[in-house]
Homo-oligomer: A and B are copies of this chain.
Amino acid sequence: MFEAAELGREISKSDYKAQLPDLRAEILQTQFALSKSNRPVIILISGVDVAGRGDVVNALNEWLDTRGVETFSFEKTSDEESERPDYWRYWRSLPARGRIGVFFGAWYVEPIRNYAYDKIDAACMDDSLGQIRRLEKLMVDDGTIIIKFWLHLSHKEQVKRLKKMEKDPNALRRVSKRDWKHVKLYDRFSAAAERAIRSTDTGDSPWLLVESTDPYYRDLTVGRTVLETIRKQLELDAINDSDNSSDNASKELTTSTQTSNLDTTDSSPKAALTVLDHVDLNQKLEPKEYRKQLKIYQGKLNRLVWAANAKKRSTVIVFEGWDAGGKGGSLRRMTQAMDARLYQVISTAAPTDEEQAHHYLWRFWRQIPRAGHFTIYDRSWYGRVLVERVEGYAKEHEWTRSFLEINNFEESLVNHGTLLLKFWIHISPEEQLRRFEEREKIAYKRHKLTEEDWRNREKWDAYKIAVNDMVARTSTNYAPWTLVAGNDKKFARIQVIKTVCKRMEAILYS
């Protein structure tokens, strides 16, 4: 999950300074509109230690009109508070309609910390998260806009900051023993945070992962997200209101405010980085080495497949990737090594009538393998958050809630004991073009290239963002994504089959 927030996104100081005045003006304008509305706003700032939660809150307080904001840090529980039910302290702090509450961590702090400290088990953690979902649902149902930020730092960056703070006599806060203890528990905290985020990342109150190494990027991203989330909701409300009153004048007003001068981040290319930009596409395998490794891993896979069958462990493998990325080739190199009775390949194309008449996950549930068997999906349920999102086949509220639905679905597979592997085969747009042109030339490959492929190609950037969100929200510790470097087909094929062998070995002989 957090790999999507370790991409080196940054904004230069001069860009930051250039963008700030507009942002601030628009934030104030939107806050004024909010104050006339009947919606409370909760901005929840969570994240790893020393990621700058306090700095972000300070920035927000500087940018917002303080008369409409309150900040709550929920430090130690007072006796007043401990004598009441757990959530009493949060209820008393909820902002009124038209006002903004900025919350430090709030209801996420204790479950994450206690789980990382091993003070509570998974069941108890999930119980707390269930309570959180109910609380947030109750607030959203009542009109509250909830904006949840997770400020992320890599382990390395965290250590670097603490060391720098220790050396700096003027640092604003002292480094404590607890800080170093937390650094040691980095992986445990990560796992706890992932669990919390995954199970509370609902369509109504989604999480936003913010890469926090560069403070300019961090603060600007938070500010812009706050602005856009509130503005979008108020605009929707205005449209609904004007629909109800059928008042054309106000309708026009709404649409005119939708054109904003803040949508462009193009000025700073580094801020638009995605997880795909970190795949090293130069990786290659020489033909000889390829043939050697293929032989080794196909043999290994064959043995593992029979072992899994004997142990009645089933496996689900998902292939996603760019058109002409080489999904089929990688898939075949695997199935060559498998007994035909043990696997089934599902090529996911446009849904049938019957499939269309059911929930989008239904067609995939149907194909779940029996004990000891394999189902390999050539494209999958991730179509919901890729093609359906980019092409607008699914509405925004539909695909945003899919992340949680997909995580729940995959969790039930894994809980049943199924091994789940997910591959995104990545290639560069140049390599894709080369392959398209090649297909056009070679007669027996020509059928593989359609008009649609050319159309999809034009939406490369939109797909990149969709892939990034997909990885950020569905790469879980029990079902991580593997991003495969696909420019060299041979390298990609070995990466896939090797990964499958490794994960199977780990699950069968642990």
Contacts and interface: CB of A to CB of B under 8 A. Distances in A.
Interface string A80-98: 1001111110011010111
Contact of A401 (B80, B124, B141, B358): B141
Interface of A: 40, 80, 83-88, 91-92, 94, 96-99, 123-124, 126-127, 130-131, 134, 138-139, 141-142, 144, 243, 312, 314, 354, 357-362, 365-366, 368, 370-371, 398, 401, 405, 408, 412-413, 415-416, 418
Given A84-B368, A85-B415, A362 B123 contact: no
Nearest to A353: B96
Given A85-B368, A139-B359, 20 more contacts: A40-B358, A83-B312, A83-B370, A84-B368, A84-B370, A85-B416, A85-B418, A86-B412, A87-B412, A92-B365, A94-B362, A96-B357, A96-B358, A97-B357, A97-B358, A98-B357, A126-B127, A126-B130, A127-B127, A144-B359
Each complex incorporates copies of this chain amounting to 2
Contacts of A357: 40, 96-99
A290 to B, nearest CB: 36
B412 A85 contact: yes
A416 B84 contact: yes
Contacts of A362: 91, 94
Contacts of A371: 83
Given A85-B418, A98-B357, A357-B96, A134 B370 contact: no
29 contacts: A40-B357, A80-B370, A83-B312, A83-B314, A83-B371, A84-B370, A85-B368, A85-B412, A85-B418, A86-B416, A88-B368, A91-B362, A91-B366, A92-B365, A92-B366, A94-B359, A94-B362, A96-B354, A99-B357, A126-B127, A126-B130, A127-B127, A130-B130, A134-B408, A138-B408, A139-B359, A142-B359, A142-B360, A144-B359
Contacts of A99: 357
A123 to B, nearest CB: 5
A126 B124 CA distance: 11
Contacts of A124: 123
A405 B84 contact: no
A372 B359 CA distance: 51
B141 A91 contact: no
Nearest to A129: B130
A272 to B, nearest CB: 31
B127 A123 contact: yes
A127 B361 CA distance: 22
A303 to B, nearest CB: 22
Nearest to A138: B405
A417 to B, nearest CB: 9
A94 B365 CA distance: 11
Contacts of A91: 361-362, 365-366
A415 B362 CA distance: 38
B243 A413 contact: no
